[in-house]
Structure 1
Amino acid sequence: MKLVIGNKRYSSWSLRGWLAIRQSGLAFDEVVIPMDTPEFAAAKADASLMPSGTVPVLWDGDVVVWESLAIIDWLADRVGRDVFWPKDDAARALARSIAAEMHAGFINLRRHCPMNTGQTYPAFALTPEVERDIGRIDALWREALHGFGGNGGPYLFGAFGAADIMYAPVVTRFHTYDVPLSDASEAYVNAVLAHPFMQDWYAGAEAEDWRLDRIEF
């Protein structure tokens, strides 16, 4: 397998694909292409590397899969759905729903609070639209944690899984911008940041030697 991603410091979608393949336990080669570079522009035009023009892209032999949820589903088919999704029907229904809501929504948070694992902005001003996104996410996390968390781990549905993978970039944003959260959600943020996969991602981001001025402010 080969996973094509962007900068670890900034690429939220890449983080999801990378966490998914780490969660699968399958061996893979990692191809990092820095964004906003001629190399990235060339990769977007190369169907043999990035046919969707976006990251992440997973190559499984000659089969190509893109979009984070599609990559999760492909890997779940390979290694077993229980590796990613809760066994309980009600828990799995909620996990799929909140993962899909993350995939399709929270545009204001994404736009105004770009992912940057190397900075913290404790005085960052949040717009009302961003605060609404934050409130919705906090409510979803509390619902999952109250109903299904604590069974096998500190994550949304106990054990680390697909829902946590989908919200991992949000966790980094909440840390970067010092977002106030409920006690339950704050504990969840700390648990995700302490996960070994996230520690490895942050270490990789720290080792990168390129920066995007539009995100460093």
Structure 2
Amino acid sequence: MKLVIGNKNYSSWSLRPWLALKVAGLPFDEVTHDLYRDGALAERLGYGPTGKVPVLLDAGLAIWETPAIAEYLAEIEPSLWPSERAARAVARAVCAEMHAGFTALRTHCPMNLRLRTTAEAHADVAADLVRIEALWADCRSRFGAGGDFLFGAFSHADAFFAPVATRIRSYGLSVSAPAQRYADRLLALPAFLEWEAAAALEPLQR
């Protein structure tokens, strides 16, 4: 398999399937694509029909959109979803909510791993954080007893929320102690540290 990704310092959607692949131990090659280079869009259209990253390439098949990539990978490695039916359904729901929602957080606090700042959160960002904290707490209380992650063992749900953890750190966003502990676990994953180390070597774009 090959995974086409954007700049590691900025591309939150690229991080999600990359992290899942790494934690699951699935072999793949990465194709790193500079989103800010002249002619970048034309090159991306050579990988997938939307001209966006990430794109997973496998056996002549191009899979775009992160939820579709997640499902494809889980067919290869089922442990990327919780094994129990109810937990698996909720995990898919929270991933879908992350994919479609939290627009204020994404707009006002774009992923930038090397940024460290503090500022009062925009009201809409604060509302997004309230929902995220409630979501994390609910998943942990109902399904997380078997481990340190939202559904116990690491799953796609954790990969989908890893960029939120980076935003909490980068922008100095205030969250509850349990939410901060969970965010810190994501940022301490060996796979995430590998991604972050590579991001530190990239040219800054903004």
Which TM bucket (shorter chain)? over 0.9
Q: Structure 1 CA distance, aligned partners of 2:7 and 2:189?
A: 20
User: Can you list the C-alpha shifts for 1:29-80, whole angstroms capped at 9, x where unaligned?
Assistant: 111111121142231342xx2332000000002011011111110011122x
Q: Structure 1 CA distance, aligned partners of 2:184 and 2:173?
A: 13
Does residue 99 of structure 1 match 2:95? yes
What residue identity is the alignment partner of 1:212? Q
Q: What fraction of aligned residue pairs are identical, expressed as a percent?
A: 45
Bigger drift between 132-141 and 22-31 goes to 22-31
Q: Structure 1 CA distance, aligned partners of 2:50 and 2:20?
A: 19
Aligned partners of 1:10 and 1:117 also within 8 Å: yes
Q: How does 1:54-133 map to 2 (within 5 A)?
A: 54-79=52-77, 81=78, 83-122=79-118, 124-133=119-128
1:145 Cα deviation after fit: 1.1
Q: Structure 1 CA distance, aligned partners of 2:195 and 2:65?
A: 19
Q: Which runs of 5+ in 1 are unaligned?
A: none
Q: Structure 1 CA distance, aligned partners of 2:35 and 2:156?
A: 25
Match for residue 158 of structure 1 among 152, 163, 175: 152
Bigger drift between 30-39 and 126-135 goes to 30-39
Q: TM-score, structure 1 length as denominator?
A: 0.90
| 1:38 alignment counterpart | 38
Does residue 207 of structure 1 match 2:201? yes
Aligned partners of 2:165 and 2:186 also within 8 Å: yes
Q: Which runs of 5+ in 2 are unaligned?
A: none
Aligned partners of 1:20 and 1:71 also within 8 Å: no
| 2:9 alignment counterpart | 9
What residue identity is the alignment partner of 1:91? A
What residue identity is the alignment partner of 2:169? H
Aligned partners of 1:57 and 1:65 also within 8 Å: yes
Bigger drift between 176-185 and 86-95 goes to 86-95
Q: Structure 2 CA distance, aligned partners of 1:39 and 1:30?
A: 20
Q: Structure 2 CA distance, aligned partners of 1:24 and 1:66?
A: 20
Q: Structure 2 CA distance, aligned partners of 1:44 and 1:8?
A: 16
Q: Report the secondary structure of 2:152's partner residue.
A: coil
Q: TM-score, structure 2 length as denominator?
A: 0.95
Count, aligned residues: 206
